[in-house]
Amino acid sequence: MSFKRIDMRTLNKSDHADYVTLARRFTWCDKHIAFKYLKEIGILLTSHPGNRAFLKASVETHAQTKLWITLVYDNYFDPERKDVSWDHVMPSREVIDQVNAFIVGPYQKWGGVLYPYFWLLKLGLAAMDDFEYIYSANGDCIVEKPEKIFELLERMKQEDADFISSGWWDEEGARPVFNSTGFIGRTQAIREMMRHFSEGFIPLKAYESTCQEWGNCEGRMGRAIKDLDLKVVKLENPKNEQLHEKYYGDWCKILGFRHVHAEHNIWWRDKETRVPPELKYYDPKFISAQELEAVKRWWEKMQ
In this structure, the strands spanning 41-47 and 69-73 are parallel
Start-end of H helices in 270-303 = 289-302
| Burial of 167 per CB tally in 10 Å (0-12, 13-18, 19+) | buried
Domains (range + CATH), the chain: 36-237 (3.90.550.10)
CB 269, CB 291: distance < 8 Å: no
Kindly report the length of the chain: 303
**Would you give per-residue pLDDT tens digits along the chain (303 residues)?**
566 666 666 655 566 666 777 778 888 999 899 999 999 999 999 999 999 999 999 999 999 999 999 999 999 999 999 999 999 999 999 999 999 999 998 999 988 889 999 999 999 999 999 999 999 999 999 999 999 999 999 999 999 999 999 999 999 888 999 999 999 999 999 999 999 999 999 999 999 999 999 999 999 999 999 999 999 999 999 988 889 988 899 999 999 999 999 999 999 999 989 999 999 999 999 999 999 999 999 999 987
| Burial of 77 per CB tally in 10 Å (0-12, 13-18, 19+) | middle
3-state SS assignment for residue 177: strand
Q: What is the pLDDT of residues 147-173, one digit of tens each?
A: 999 999 999 999 999 999 999 999 988
In this structure, the strands spanning 101-104 and 168-169 are unpaired
Residue type, 162: D
Q: What is the pLDDT of residues 79-113, one digit of tens each?
A: 999 999 999 999 999 999 999 999 998 999 988 88
Q: How far apart are CA 256 and CA 270, in angstroms?
A: 23
